[in-house]
Every structure is written in C-alpha cells, then in structure tokens.
C-alpha cells in the first residue's frame, strides 16, 4: 500500500510541476495524508488555497487541513466564503427545482382543463356525462388546485353558454 501511494505521489508531483490544477493538487494532499506525510499534506492544502482562493477543491482542501491544523485567519475567511457560496448554490438549485415543479403543475392544469373541455363538447348531448366528468376531475384533483379552478371556470362558462340545457339536467 505504501509503495503504491508513494508511486502515485511521485507521478502527481511530476504532473503538478508541469500543470498545476485544483483537482490534482487536492488529490496529492490526500495522498500525502494517506502516506503519513502530514507536513506535505498541509503544505499542499496551503498551496492550493493560495493559488485558487475559491471553488470545490479549495473548500475540500481547507476541510482536510482543518482536521489536522488550524486555518490562518485568511484561510478561515476563504473557507467561510466557500461555505456561503455552497449554501447559496444549493438554495438556487432548490428554487430552480421548485420553479420546475410549479411549471409542471401549471402545464398539467392546462392539459386537464383542455381534456375536460373536450369531454364537455362530446357530452353536451348528454348533460349527465358532463357532470360525471366534472365530478371525476374534482375528486381526482390530479393537477392540484389550479386544475380544479380551471374546471370550475369552465363549468361556469359553459353554464352561461348552454344555460337552458344545464338547468334542465339539474
């Protein structure tokens, strides 16, 4: 195990000497820790934070360092900013997810109202079928309150248009 870790360390050190990237700098810091080279681990974390200041791997490097040593005041500030950015990002994702759910519900309500309208047009010759369709939609409430409201509006409109036929069925 130790030999494999040392070989990976050597390869990453050579690679980072040519192209220093966040991900591989963090991986090197983890390898140093696994190999028991804590001073090199902490130094790798410090270098990564110094070079990049923010981002997923900076946050991970600061979390790794915090397990074994205190952060400098500047690193603590960077860590807090990373945590704030991560929280804001999660909040934005949740809001986008909720907006998507709302859009789906509105679309579903529109489809339900359209389907109900098709059923009503077919049921005008038989008012009982019309009322059965409305009752089923209200009981199922598959599109939520928007769908029921759309159906109620449709029923009100149709009652005005075909008032005499609807009144007879009542």
pLDDT value, residue 166: 44
Contact present, 68 and 42 (Cβ < 8 Å): yes
**10-residue mean pLDDT series, the chain (170 residues):** 85 94 96 95 96 94 96 95 89 84 63 58 54 57 53 59 53
pTM reported for the whole predicted model:
0.54
Sign of CA dihedral 137, 140, 141, 143: negative
| Per-residue pLDDT at 143 | 47
**Token digits for 16?**
């980072």
**Where is 166: in which H helix or E strand?**
helix 163-169
pLDDT number for residue 160: 60
Write down how long the chain is: 170
Distances 89 to 23, 52, 54 between C-alpha atoms, Å: 20, 19, 14
Cα 17 to Cα 9: distance, rounded to the nearest angstrom: 12
pLDDT of residue 167: 52
**Amino acid 42: pLDDT:** 97
Cβ–Cβ under 8 Å, residues 41 and 27: no
Structure tokens at 13: 């050190």
The confidence score (pLDDT) of residue 9 equals 94
């Amino acid at each position: 195990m130790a030999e494999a870790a040392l070989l990976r360390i050597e390869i990453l050190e050579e690679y980072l000497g040519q192209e220093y990237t966040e991900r591989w700098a963090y991986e090197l810091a983890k390898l140093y820790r696994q190999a028991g080279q804590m001073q090199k681990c902490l130094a790798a974390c410090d270098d990564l934070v110094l070079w990049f200041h923010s981002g997923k791997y900076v946050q991970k490097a600061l979390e790794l360092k915090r397990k074994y040593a205190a952060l400098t005041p500047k690193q603590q500030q960077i860590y807090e900013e990373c945590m704030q950015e991560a929280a804001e990002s999660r909040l934005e994702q949740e809001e986008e997810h909720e907006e998507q759910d709302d859009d789906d519900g509105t679309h579903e309500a529109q489809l339900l109202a359209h389907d109900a309208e098709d059923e009503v047009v077919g049921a005008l010759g038989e008012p009982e079928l019309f009322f059965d369709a409305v009752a089923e939609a209200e009981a199922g409430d598959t599109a939520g309150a928007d769908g029921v409201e759309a159906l109620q509006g449709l029923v009100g409109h149709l009652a005005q248009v075909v008032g005499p036929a609807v009144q007879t069925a009542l």
